[in-house]
Structure formats: structure tokens, C-alpha cells
Chain A
Amino acid sequence: MDFRSAEEHLLLQQSLRDFLAGEFPPAKLRALWAGEAQRGGALWAALAELGVCGMLIAEEHGGLGLDLVAAANMLEEAGRAALAEPLASAIVAAPLLAELGGALAEEWLPQIAAGRAVVAVGHPLFAAVEDADCAQLLLLPGAQFALHAVPRAAAQCESLPSSDPSRFLAKVSFDSDAHPPLAEGARARALWDAVLLRGALTCAAQAIGVCEQLLQMSVAYTSERRQFGKPVGSFQALKHKLADVKLKLEYARPLVQRAAHSLAQQAEHPQCGVHISMAKLLACEAAEFAARQALQCHGAIGYTWEQDLHIWMRRAWSLAQSWGSARFHLSRVREPLLGGAFPIGPATTFATGETT
């Protein structure tokens, strides 16, 4: 039993953090928002150079061969930097391609790892596809949960509005006769289930980084801003708001780490889906709560377009809506919990049939 991140994962996380702090200041994100820059460009290539795009891809395909526990650490940094590159899509797509195998995997996995291609993944439960705008290949649901691989050029994408300009959503349609399914029936359903869990995990891990960033910005601002002759952060009304953010953050974090661990070793964790849903729920709620408190702590300056705070507020909102809402994930905990689907109580937290 050792519930700590591996030393080498923390080093990778730190190097990504340092890289993004240097290479991806808010000004670059604003340029992207203004249409003056594109995603999947030089920054994406530099991330590929660091191994980030192919972290889950096997070394034989040019990746780092890491697992989801490491990926969760890296995604925290994507959240902290409000990275707008299609990193989450790479995390969702790579294991799906590997599972599908064959020529498709041989062709696309090395390209994802090298930062030369983006593969976007839809889901039968959700109408919108993220990152279809900059993808070269789309993995999409068809009739009866069938799974289709469709080149971006062969699909019709209609952009959808988003509260977060960093989040690119599209409604995608394609000709299923021209692109016959790669998987159908029970196999396809199992693949979509795994996609959903990975997608939710990417949101949860990023939300932790977003929450930390919002908290850090709020502490810094309230320590500096003076009213009544002292820093506003010396007033208990604001201290208690930010203490509450810290509380939500600290108790969401281990849920996310455990969920990543369970998903990485799915075969041993029959409650993996519950672990993912509770992590997604609490991490995204922590980030949304942080966004609300951060805005209040900043006052009017935080309510301006010019102040960078809303970059992370919007991330918090969009992550909460991606890969299943709070209500969706809460129901995925509530139903098996109240239905008695798994043992609960003391001595069951890490139980995989070993304690009884």
C-alpha cells in the first residue's frame, strides 16, 4: 500500500508544468481565441517532442508507454495552463486505436505520438464531438452503437457554440455505407464504455489543475489588493471562501488519482466506473466552485474580458459539461450504491475481494 505518485511521474509533470508556463502564456490563448493562431501547430509539435501527445502510446509506435495514472498527472498541468490543444482527445483516442488494432492502429498511433495527427472521438451518449475541427481522423458512433472510423475530410462538421472558446465542439455526420463499422454489438459497446471512462477521467484530472490555478490566482490577488488600509485577503469573509475551495480541491484529488489507478488496472476493479464518476463529479464541482469564489474574490476586475481569470472559469464550466454532466455521473454512483451492487463500509475502500 503506497498512495503516492511515482517519482518519475512527478518529474514529468513538473517538466510539463515548466514548459507550459513558459510557452503557453494567456496571450497565446487569446491569439487562438481571436483566430490569429491555430491549434495543432508549433505548440502541438513541441508537446509531441516532449512525449506528451503519445504518453499512452506504446514505445514501438513512438510513444512513452505510460499508463493513465501518469496521464492524470500530466492532464492536471493541461488544466493549470488552460491548454487548448487537443491533448484530452489524444488520451481518449490512443487506447481505443490500440484496442482496435490492425492497419488503423499501425497508421495512426505513430502519427498521434509524433504530433502529426489528431484523432477525435465521439460517443453514442453525446451529440457533440470535441476537437473534430483540427482532427484528421474521427472515431464515431453509428447505428446500434457501431464504431466507425471516418477521415475528417469525408465527414460533415457543423460547429456548435460553447461557453469556452478553447473548447471546439461540432455536430458531425457521415455516410455509414461508405465507412463500414470497425466494431459492432457487445464489442462496440465495451469500447464505448471505456471511451466514456477515459473521457471523464481527462476532465477530472484537468479540473484539478484548473481549480488549483483559480485558487492560486485568488490568493495572489486578495493578498495584493488593498481596501480599508489592508489587503482584502486579511478579511475572514474571503479567507473562508478560499479555505472552502481548498477543502473541495484536497478531497477531490485522491478520488481522481484512485480513479486513474482503477481504470489503468480495470480488470481488477469491478467498480472502476463508480470510481471514475465520483472523481469526475467532485473534481469538476471543485473547479466550478473555485470559479465562482474566484470571481467574487476578484470583484469587478474579475468580471472584465481583459482579466485572465475567465480563461479558467470557462475551462471549469466546459469540463463540467464534457463527458457527462454532474447529474449523469452522480446517477452512475447513486444507482449501483443504493442498488447494493458492491460492498460498502469500513474495510471496503481498497477491497478487491481480498479482505473477506
Chain B
Amino acid sequence: MELRYTDEQRAFRREAREWLEANVPSGPLPSFDTAEGARLHREWEAKLNAGGWAMVPWPVEFGGRGADLFEWLIFEEEYYRAGAPKRINQNGIFLLGPTIMEFGTKQQKARFLPKMASSEEVWAQGWSEPNAGSDMANIQATALRDGGHYIVNGQKTWASRGAFADWLFGMFRSDPDSERHRGLSFILVPLNLPGITVRPIPQLDGLPGFAEVFFDDVRVPAENRLGEEGAGWRVAMATAGFERGLMLRSPARFQHTAQRLVSLCRAHRELVGEALQDEVARCWIGAEAYALETYRTVSKLLAGGKIGSESSLNKVFWSELDLRMHELALQILGECGPASENAAAAEWLDGYLFALSGPIYAGTNEIQRNIIAERILGMPR
């Protein structure tokens, strides 16, 4: 066990810190779920990419730095420490990107990854359908082969970033006679094709963070299929693993929130009872535990280990921790008087609304607990 950074890791941290301090926008950007915010976030991503920091663990040829996963964690720590903007292309860089790295052809990697890193192409998710939510294997949208194309029909919903994205990835039924998780294919669809209708859906905060997407005889080139035809479920499970695990939600995000919560509690300590202070301390411990567990996981991965269903543990842990931290912040603000009166309160309220989605997206926490019980603990189905 060695819990010190190497000289190289420290140098990497210094380099990241210096670049971020010199380049991070001074104030917060408007939400990327607005037209103006989307434009400004794309600008920021272009700058990040020009500096070579868009996706540090990727190979240099695809716009990355060839960094290892520890360096990825270090970069994330510096990114949140610097208060840098949220990642508008997180569906691309954190979820689809690693999946293309694993399942994509040489051509697909060259075609999609660099423009993903630069956010020239922003990605939306296309998992859920009106009748395929937690029961994702009930997907009905079809992609039927017609020569060099797939003809796509059906509907996707809750497509995150759908309103302002350029591309969508998702699973479609390529074998019309198949059932459940067989006969599905993972397909990458440009959202500007004829026959596609995107209808943005306002979320709890009133902004269109997701969308319904309708497909009416949309012709998608067959080379846009990721992985084998009919093997979409396996590809999607890898993507879901990245979503639940350390790519989408590395620990720095929650350590940053815990730090803000502790600062808030300190600032109002005379008004905040000991019980609430205890809860704040517990949240900070939780964020540290998540960081330590992530470093442990990365240590295993770098030594040749694999991560599987364990990502379900991550997802439940971070989503419930995040929600708890925001609930406590609002309670503390409530002790201080009308919460709507200052900017800090507004930020916590926005964060709370977002945190409420955590136990729902990326597979509800009920589904995750089933996975933990069945696949990790081995309980009967």
C-alpha cells in the first residue's frame, strides 16, 4: 500500500492546476440546457480541447493525453477545485467515448472520438422509451437492415441533452422477431437526418434537459452500428458501467459539494444545531469514503483487475450522498431565514433539483439494489 503520489503525478497535477487557473471562466456560465448556455459551454469545451485537457485518459491521436486513471482522478480534482464549467458533452466523453474505445472499429474511433473530445459534436442518450424505462430490455424502436442502411422507426424519451445535441446513441431492435435483450443493436444516429423529430421536455427546473425523439423511416448508414448486429445489449451494459462508475461521477464532484456544505455550516454555525452539524460531518465522511473507494478501484484496475457490477454500488452511493448534501444545505439555509434571498441559496436549490434526478437516471437505485443483491451478493432471482 502506497498512498503518496509519484513525482510524475504531482507534476501532472501542477500542470493541470496552472492551466485551469489561467483559463477557467471567472463566473458561472448559464445552464447548458439553454441555447446561450449550450453555445458558451461548447466554446469552453473547444478551449479545453485546444489545451489538450478535454479527455486526458484518451490516446493522444483521439484528442487525449494518454493519461492513466490516477491522472484522470487528479485532473478531475483540479477541475472541480478550479470551479470549471459542467461538461456539456458528458454523454459523449464519459459514456459513449469509452464504449467506442472498447467496441469501435478503427474507422469509428477516428471518425467520432476527436470531434467528441472537442465537443464539435455533442451527444444525447437514447436509452429509454415510453415502455422501456427500468425494463430496458422491452425496447420497441426498430432499426431494420436495408442494404447499407438501417431504417429506424419508433420513439426514444428522456434523451438527456437531446434539445441541443448533434448526435444520439442508443439501442434499437434490429431483429424484429427477437425478444428482450436479444436482437438489439447499438446505433449512432445524427439528429439532423430526415424523419427525426426532437421535442424538448422541460425538467423540474423548467429547462429542457431532456427530449423525446421520434424516428419515422430514418435511414442511418450501417457503419454507424457499434459492435456486432444483435449484440447491442452487451455494448450498452459497458456504457451503463461507465455511467454508474468512475467516469461520469468521479469523486471530486462530491468532495467539492461537501466542501461547500461544510463552508455553509461553518458560516452559520451559531444557528445550526449539533444534530445538523453531525449530519454535515457525516456527508463529508461519505465524500471521502467515495474518494478512497475510487482510488482503491483504480489501483485494482491498473493492476489488471476488472470492474463489473460494482459500479452499481457507486451509483447508489454517490446519488444518495449528493441528495443528502443538498437537503442539508437547504435545511441550514432554512435556519437562516427565507432561502430565496441570496445567490448561494439559488445555487443550492438548483443543485437540489438536479440531485433529485440522481437516484432515477442511469438506472434507478431500486434496479441498482437488485443488481447488487443478485450479481454481487448472489441472492436468488
Binding site for B on A (CB under 8 A): 1-6, 69, 215, 219, 222-223, 230-231, 233-234, 236, 238-240, 242-244, 246-247, 250-255, 257-258, 261, 278, 281-282, 330, 333-334, 337-338, 340, 344-350, 352, 354-355
Contacts and interface: CB of A to CB of B under 8 A. Distances in A.
Nearest to A347: B77
Among A69, A243, A282, A349, which residue has the most Cβ atoms of chain B within 10 A?
A243
A345 B255 CA distance: 5
Contacts of A4: 1, 296, 299-300, 303
Given A1-B299, A355-B10, A234 B292 contact: no
Nearest to A254: B292
B369 A244 contact: yes
Give chain B's interface residue range (CB within 8 Å of chain A): 35 or more
Among B5, B303, B310, B369, which residue has the most Cβ atoms of chain A within 10 A?
B369
B290 A337 contact: no
B303 A247 contact: no
B317 interface: yes
Contact of B377 (A243, A258, A347): A243
B2 A2 contact: yes
Contact of B265 (A223, A247, A338, A345): A338
7 contacts: A246-B372, A251-B289, A258-B3, A334-B280, A337-B281, A346-B76, A347-B74
B379 interface: yes
A347 B9 CA distance: 12
A346 B262 CA distance: 13
B47 interface: no
B348 to A, nearest CB: 17
Contacts, number: 174
Given A251-B293, A330-B278, A350-B4, A355 B262 contact: no
Nearest to B79: A346
A5 B290 CA distance: 18
A253 B292 CA distance: 9
Interface string B346-381: 000000000000000000001011101110111111
B1 A6 contact: yes
B13 A347 contact: yes
Interface in B1-54: 1-6, 9-10, 13
A106 B4 CA distance: 35
B259 A255 contact: no
A338 B283 CA distance: 12
B78 A347 contact: yes
B369 A1 contact: no
Considering the complex of A and B, which 3 residue pairs feature the smallest CB-CB distances, nearest first?
Answer: A239-B373, A345-B259, A254-B292
B306 interface: no
Given A223-B378, A281-B285, A349-B288, 15 more contacts: A2-B303, A3-B296, A222-B379, A239-B369, A242-B373, A243-B316, A246-B377, A250-B293, A254-B295, A330-B281, A330-B282, A346-B76, A346-B259, A349-B295, A355-B13
Interface in B279-334: 280-282, 284-286, 288-293, 295-296, 298-300, 303, 310, 313, 316-317
A250 B313 contact: yes
Contacts of B145: none
Contacts of A219: 377-379
Nearest to B377: A219
A281 B279 CA distance: 13
B208 to A, nearest CB: 30
Nearest to B370: A239
B94 interface: no
